Chains A and B, each alone.
Chain A
Amino acid sequence: MNDRTRPDLLAPRAEKPGAPADARTATGYIGLSVPRAGARRLLQGRGTYTDDLKLPRLAHVVFFRSPYAHARIRKLDLTTAARQPGVIAAFDGRAIAEYCTPWVGVLAHLKGIKSPPQHAVAIERACWQGEAVAAIVAESRAQGEDALAHVEAEWEELPVVTDMEDALSNRSVIHPELGDNICFKRDFVTEGFEDAFAKADLVVEETYSFGRHTGVTLEGRAILADYNAGEHSLTVYQATQAPHMMQDIFSRHLNIPEANVRVICKDVGGSYGIKVHVYPDEMATAAISVMLRRPVKFLADRLESFLTDIHAREHKAKVRLACTKDGKIIGFDLDDLTGIGPYSVYPRTSGIEGNQVVNLTGGPYAHKNYRARLNVVFTNKNVTCQYRAVGHPIAVAITEGIVDLAAQKLGIDPAEFRRRNLIADDAYPYTFPSGLKFEQLSHHQCLDKLLALMDYQGLRAEQKRLREKKIYRGIGLAAMIEVTNPSPAFYGVGGARISAQDGATVRLEPTGMVTCLVSVTEQGQGTEGIFQQICATAVGVSIDKVRVITGDTGTTPYGGGTWASRGAGIGGEALLQAGKALRANILELAAAALSIDKNALDVSTDAVCDKATGETKMPLAEVGRIGYFRPDTLPLKFQAELTVTRHYTPREYGFTFTNGIQASYVELDTDTGFVKLLKHWVVEDCGTVINPMLVDEQIRGGVVQGIGGAMLEECLYSPEGQLLNGSLADYLVPMSGDTPDIEIAHVCTPTRQSELGAKGVGEAGTAGAPGAVMNAINDALAPLGARVNVQPFTPERILRALGKV
């Protein structure tokens, strides 16, 4: 560690101190907008990403990918390619399979889910355009790409299934050995459902479609695998969210003892769920490192990213809502269809997204009746899996869309309709018809706060005034619940070796610095920054004294990593407890050294002090000096323990649900079908807010990703299964200039399951934004008698709804 022994010289240039040491409040640094450590380093171009690593004898692998969506490999001749300049080796799927066993992406708790074995490099048959069928290893990436042109392949095209309904019909079965195209199916119904719907005053129905989209991380997928034959060990530098999960997977599929596998995450340039899955080309890279006994690197370039990074969210959902004539919701009825590509992705499966839609639809409302049907089908497109806010954007949009439609039919204001139906704030703990349990939510507080924040009545008045001038503005609301801090109920119970717990080790250094090692990983979202805040608070030191290490299975405690909005709530709690334990141990040592009752001491501002008077008794540097170099001066039976590890798993609830509500204000150009997003508001309850600035920017970033799905982003495929817009010129991601101001406020209901009280927040913006935007557009369209329900809302779709084309 870099102990800064000459702070007088180094302080002005030091990067670590974010906030001045005196910025602490009664709760330490919790709740302070401390600029995050590391941001300056990244902005100065001093980050170290996987691609920045260069090892001796490093080889580069490139992949020959199927140009067809479904085709049998008639001939694959790599001999000419292997003779090209700089080429080290060329392998087909069979050669790779000698070193890497196939996998099957199923989980036991998703009953009946099925998927065929998937190989790192396809053997005999390719099932989507872009699936790797050969690997070329070369001295440089460019030489590898040169050699790709010399791969000789002959193909026999097979029937292609791209349409979800076509897949469901089983007209052509992609994997005949599975019997049909259905990967996973779920039917759910509450008792008395039919009866309740039959007695309803009003039943509204609508079908919503969602475009397939993807995460578009700034840094592409990246891996550098370094097999050392001398010790039969594998060190993998990987841009991943879950290093321990990957350690287990490399160990099992490459047959290397787990203790000999180390996964290290250097800086990671954004993940959003894209980097938490097992990718065949990355597994092949690790296998090739073993085969060649040398380090091998693979980077997915942008074109490969569009073809092979997981896609998500291709859904068609029919939803019905039953209510009374005075606007009380009786129940929801859902029929969701989603197409996931030819394989269920390993190890999390591609059944989870649809399952989440079933779990969450109707989520904010106090109804008792629910029926859901889910069909997850195989198609010959790229695979889909968990991407930021998994299932939530679908569930929120269809719930909020049908709620608005019901309100419209009844002539009730959408805000008032929600007020009548949101689960009461004093109704908790509450069990939802789909079986989910909510600890404590705050829907009504959030609604009230949102309406005040946006001046709802004022906006409605403005909207009415402008309509007289033929300016069509719309206001859309979207209430939501969100899965965060998942317990083992998410994956572990289904047999996946994915840790729901996390651990933190905190160590007092001899200089009084504190080092913490946490199993949660940093993807650029600022996790290490909030860990600094938590650790400094727990131990009682100023924030510049804390160093954080994450992303290394060789050094950090075992844990799940970053996904499902769990880093702050789970890893943060483990760190809080570890820090508190270290503080207690520091006091034990000081009490022994000073012969003072430890209960009369505390740690404050980098020193042990008198609890009552605040008088400094012993600087932490002195505690470290005694503990490490002069333990002989301590009582004979006293052993200093200046390194502490603690773990945490949420267990009381399957998930720590959060809630929130968003609003969107849009203006519609009825001539062009263009929508201008004027403003967006979010009120969110994520419990304890550790760093308000980071939380708000997480929400803003999430909202923008949600807006992307609603307005712009869609992976378009031809009927032959060819991706039509696989570059950033054609696949449109939102840019800052097209993004509205996003105003954010909070309601704070800490979870009582942990001392920290933090719930997750990273996915909230993405979860709610598409529904809010859709409702705003439909509100603007309403006086024109039009409605849209197919995302993204392109000018074409809006003009068609208006009958202009």
Chain B
Amino acid sequence: MKAAPFAYAKPGSLREAFALLERHGDRAKLLAGGQSLIAALNMRLATPSILVDLTAIPGIDGIQLRGDHLAIGALVRHREIERSELVAKHAPLLSQAAPHIAHVAIRNAGTIGGSLAMADPAAEWPACCVALEAHIVAASPKGERRIPATKFFKSLFTTALAPREIITAVEVPVAGANTRSAFLELVRRRGDYAIVGLAAHTQLERGALTRLRLVYLGVGDAPVSAAGAMEKLEGKRATPEAIAAAQAALEQDLSPAADLTHSAATKLHLARVLLGRALAALVT
């Protein structure tokens, strides 16, 4: 298990990074925390000719409150998010999700930008960003653009990023007084990729669920918003009847593929269970 030969560059600015991408094109891979990429290199699932290490680029790390949103730099490690008081206050869904990401050693190294760019459909951050209606900030020689997370994840390991674009930050709307969130996932061992996971987010208005977002992970090629279930519940209280109706709607919302040990039917069943639990958590 040795990686195929590759060159390595550590640019000191975005401009240098763009130049390297320009020169090497598809043969270059961006390296941030390396928690997925290094394993892929060692198993020769990825054989880039050059790694462009982003970790010396200034200005793309740190967590800052900027008006109505929280800006989380692409190089921010999972563990920083987990321990951030700013995040706990303004984007509690991320605080709830962070402990589910692998193990501490991995969270110490892995970055949110890397996770979003990787777009693993079983990963936590993509689903959270969709649920929060966050924006992914991407930079290229042409400038910067903000891509809604809801339009960012295209399919398996595929995003809306253009070939020479680099994620620099993610912007998350700050939570209000009525914001409620819940993050649940089912794993056979703590830290594994979820069999099924659910990022739930709502504004609770006098007991009613409004602007409800229910985004699943592990049930498709990308984070899956449960549109039917959200519609059944929007503006309603989480009564047993409403929950049951939403759970029934998941049959249309989700079409999970079987994994090694769970059939599609089981995944759908588990998604329903999580929905019930998430709603209970949102309203208590």
**Interface residues of B, count at CB 8 A:** 24
Contact status of A712 and B3, CB under 8 A, knowing A725-B260, A795-B262, A795-B270: no
CB-based contact B189/A672 at 8 Å:
no
Q: Which of A99-107, A193-201, A466-474, A731-739 contacts B (4 or more CB under 8 A)?
A: A731-739
User: Which B237-284 residues have C-beta < 8 A from chain A?
Assistant: 260-263, 265-266, 269-270, 273
B195 within 8 A of A: yes
A724 within 8 A of B: yes
Which residues from chain B contact A804 at a C-beta distance below 8 Å?
A: 269
Contact status of A796 and B266, CB under 8 A, knowing A142-B3, A145-B44, A146-B4: yes
Q: Which chain B residue lies CB-closest to A725?
A: B260
User: Which A116-154 residues have C-beta < 8 A from chain B?
Assistant: 141-142, 145-146
CA distance A638 to B138 in the complex (A): 90
CB-based contact B260/A303 at 8 Å:
no
Contact status of A805 and B266, CB under 8 A, knowing A735-B189, A735-B190: yes
A302 within 8 A of B: yes
A462 within 8 A of B: no
CB-based contact B43/A672 at 8 Å:
no
Which residues from chain A contact B270 at a C-beta distance below 8 Å?
A: 672, 795
The distance from the CB of B181 to the nearest CB of chain A, in whole angstroms, is 21
Which residues from chain A contact B189 at a C-beta distance below 8 Å?
A: 712, 732, 734-735, 737-738
User: Which A728-748 residues have C-beta < 8 A from chain B?
Assistant: 729-730, 732, 734-735, 737-738
Contact status of A799 and B266, CB under 8 A, knowing A674-B186, A724-B260, A730-B260: yes
CA distance A712 to B190 in the complex (A): 13
CB-based contact B190/A303 at 8 Å:
no
User: Which A456-482 residues have C-beta < 8 A from chain B?
Assistant: none
Contact status of A738 and B2, CB under 8 A, knowing A672-B270, A795-B270: no
CB-based contact B1/A301 at 8 Å:
yes
Other-chain residue from B1, B44, B193, B262 in contact with A794 (beta carbon distance below 8 A): B262
CB-based contact B260/A141 at 8 Å:
no
Contact status of A795 and B188, CB under 8 A, knowing A142-B3, A146-B4, A672-B273: yes
Contact status of A737 and B190, CB under 8 A, knowing A672-B273, A796-B261: yes
Which residues from chain B contact A302 at a C-beta distance below 8 Å?
A: 1
CA distance A804 to B272 in the complex (A): 12
Q: Which chain A residue lies CB-closest to B190?
A: A737
The distance from the CB of B248 to the nearest CB of chain A, in whole angstroms, is 15
Which residues from chain B contact A727 at a C-beta distance below 8 Å?
A: 43
Other-chain residue from A712, A730, A795 in contact with B195 (beta carbon distance below 8 A): A795
B5 within 8 A of A: yes
B192 within 8 A of A: yes
Contact status of A795 and B1, CB under 8 A, knowing A672-B186, A732-B189: no
CB-based contact B4/A732 at 8 Å:
no
A549 within 8 A of B: no
CB-based contact B2/A142 at 8 Å:
yes
Which residues from chain B contact A795 at a C-beta distance below 8 Å?
A: 186, 188, 195, 261-262, 266, 270
The distance from the CB of B278 to the nearest CB of chain A, in whole angstroms, is 13
Contact with B along A660-686 (1 / 0, CB 8 A): 000000000001111000000000000
A716 within 8 A of B: yes
CA distance A184 to B4 in the complex (A): 44
The distance from the CB of A37 to the nearest CB of chain B, in whole angstroms, is 29
Which residues from chain A contact B190 at a C-beta distance below 8 Å?
A: 735, 737-738
Which residues from chain A contact B1 at a C-beta distance below 8 Å?
A: 145, 301-303
The distance from the CB of B38 to the nearest CB of chain A, in whole angstroms, is 13
**A contact face: mostly helix, strand, loop, or mixed:** loop
User: Which A688-721 residues have C-beta < 8 A from chain B?
Assistant: 711-712, 714, 716
Interface-centre pick from B4, B5, B192, B270 (highest chain A CB count, 10 A): B270
Interface-centre pick from A302, A714, A738 (highest chain B CB count, 10 A): A738
Q: Which chain A residue lies CB-closest to B261?
A: A794
CB-based contact B43/A146 at 8 Å:
no
CA distance A301 to B263 in the complex (A): 31
Q: Which chain B residue lies CB-closest to A724?
A: B260
CB-based contact B262/A796 at 8 Å:
yes
User: Which B186-223 residues have C-beta < 8 A from chain A?
Assistant: 186, 188-193, 195
Interface-centre pick from A145, A712, A716 (highest chain B CB count, 10 A): A145
Other-chain residue from B4, B191, B269 in contact with A805 (beta carbon distance below 8 A): B269
CA distance A732 to B195 in the complex (A): 13
CA distance A725 to B193 in the complex (A): 14
CB-based contact A145/B188 at 8 Å:
no
CA distance A674 to B277 in the complex (A): 15
Q: Which chain B residue lies CB-closest to A141?
A: B2
Which residues from chain B contact A732 at a C-beta distance below 8 Å?
A: 188-189, 192
The distance from the CB of A136 to the nearest CB of chain B, in whole angstroms, is 13
Which residues from chain B contact A735 at a C-beta distance below 8 Å?
A: 189-191
Q: Which chain B residue lies CB-closest to A798?
A: B266
The distance from the CB of A103 to the nearest CB of chain B, in whole angstroms, is 28
Contact status of A303 and B266, CB under 8 A, knowing A142-B3, A725-B260: no
CB-based contact B43/A303 at 8 Å:
yes
The distance from the CB of A85 to the nearest CB of chain B, in whole angstroms, is 9
The distance from the CB of A380 to the nearest CB of chain B, in whole angstroms, is 20
Which residues from chain B contact A671 at a C-beta distance below 8 Å?
A: 273
Q: Which chain B residue lies CB-closest to A800?
A: B266
CA distance A730 to B260 in the complex (A): 8
Q: Which chain A residue lies CB-closest to B1?
A: A301
CA distance A35 to B124 in the complex (A): 42
The distance from the CB of B163 to the nearest CB of chain A, in whole angstroms, is 26
Q: Which chain A residue lies CB-closest to B186?
A: A672
Other-chain residue from B188, B191, B273 in contact with A712 (beta carbon distance below 8 A): B188
CA distance A671 to B1 in the complex (A): 40
The distance from the CB of B245 to the nearest CB of chain A, in whole angstroms, is 18
CB-based contact A799/B269 at 8 Å:
yes
Which residues from chain B contact A716 at a C-beta distance below 8 Å?
A: 260-261
The distance from the CB of B103 to the nearest CB of chain A, in whole angstroms, is 9
The distance from the CB of A143 to the nearest CB of chain B, in whole angstroms, is 9
Q: Which chain B residue lies CB-closest to A303?
A: B1
Which residues from chain B contact A737 at a C-beta distance below 8 Å?
A: 189-191
Which residues from chain B contact A725 at a C-beta distance below 8 Å?
A: 260
The distance from the CB of A737 to the nearest CB of chain B, in whole angstroms, is 5
Which residues from chain B contact A794 at a C-beta distance below 8 Å?
A: 188, 261-262
CB-based contact A796/B263 at 8 Å:
yes
Which residues from chain B contact A674 at a C-beta distance below 8 Å?
A: 186, 188
CB-based contact B5/A146 at 8 Å:
yes
The distance from the CB of A677 to the nearest CB of chain B, in whole angstroms, is 12
The distance from the CB of B214 to the nearest CB of chain A, in whole angstroms, is 18
Residues of B within 8 A of A (CB): 1-5, 43-44, 186, 188-193, 195, 260-263, 265-266, 269-270, 273
Can you spell out 9 A-B residue pairs with CB atoms less than 8 angstroms apart?
A142-B2, A142-B5, A146-B5, A672-B273, A727-B43, A732-B192, A794-B188, A795-B261, A796-B266
| Additional 4 contacts, C-beta under 8 A, given A142-B3, A737-B190 | A146-B5, A735-B189, A795-B186, A799-B266
Closest A-B pairs by Cβ, 8 of them = A142-B2, A301-B1, A805-B265, A671-B273, A794-B261, A796-B266, A805-B266, A805-B269
